[in-house]
Amino acid sequence: MSKTFDRSAGIIFLLIGLLFVIESQRISESSYGSEVGPDIFPIGLGSILILLSARLLYETFRYEAGTKNEGPVKYKKFFIIFSSAVLYAALLEPLGYVITTFLFLVIAFQTMESGKWLQTLVIATAFSFGVYYLFAEFLGGSLPGFPEF
């Protein structure tokens, strides 16, 4: 348990709850003819979240900071894979499924462990083409396969 994380999470969720309550006031009046409008539920939830977050913040002052022996965290590896995943998401529509999937897998495989290029290329090709043809051609699903020129 990390005290700092719990504290910041408490503050963030407190703000989310507050935001919810404030923003709920802006929900337009219902024409539904009931006293129970669309804003009741969000306001209630926001208030409960505020109370719970306050409770969490209070708790963080009571327990001792946990000593968790954490192993080395591989930020670099994660950062490369995560940013290529973001690119994968952004380019999937313009470049099509096959190309982006292939590139993403090649980058991710090589980031996980470099070398063995043949295996990397074979698996990435098989997966990207295999999924596309099985899904789009054989099963008739729709997926943007290749870039449209």
User: Is residue 103 close enough to count as binding other proteins by CB under 8 A?
Assistant: no
For residues 113 and 98, give the distance between their C-alpha atoms in angstroms, rounded to a whole number: 23
How close are the terminal C-alpha atoms of the chain, in Å?
52
| Residue from 56, 121, 125, 129 in contact with other proteins (CB under 8 A) | 56
User: Is residue 28 close enough to count as binding other proteins by CB under 8 A?
Assistant: yes
| Residue from 11, 130, 143, 147 in contact with other proteins (CB under 8 A) | 143
Q: C-alpha distances in angstroms, 11 versus 60, 65, 75, 95, 120?
A: 11, 18, 25, 41, 44
Three-state DSSP class for 24? helix
For residues 108 and 132, give the distance between their C-alpha atoms in angstroms, rounded to a whole number: 19
Range 58-87, binding other proteins (CB under 8 A): 59, 70-71, 73-75, 77-78, 81-82, 85-86
Smallest separation (angstroms) from other proteins to the CB of 149: 20
Smallest separation (angstroms) from other proteins to the CB of 71: 5
User: Is residue 99 close enough to count as binding other proteins by CB under 8 A?
Assistant: no
The runs of H, that is alpha helices, within the chain are 3-24, 40-60, 75-95, 97-112, 117-132
For residues 10 and 14, give the distance between their C-alpha atoms in angstroms, rounded to a whole number: 6
Binding site for other proteins (CB under 8 A): 1-2, 5-6, 9, 13, 16, 20, 23-24, 27-28, 30-32, 34-38, 40-42, 45-46, 48-49, 52-53, 55-56, 59, 70-71, 73-75, 77-78, 81-82, 85-86, 88-90, 92-93, 97, 101, 104-105, 108-109, 112-113, 123, 127-128, 131, 135, 139-143
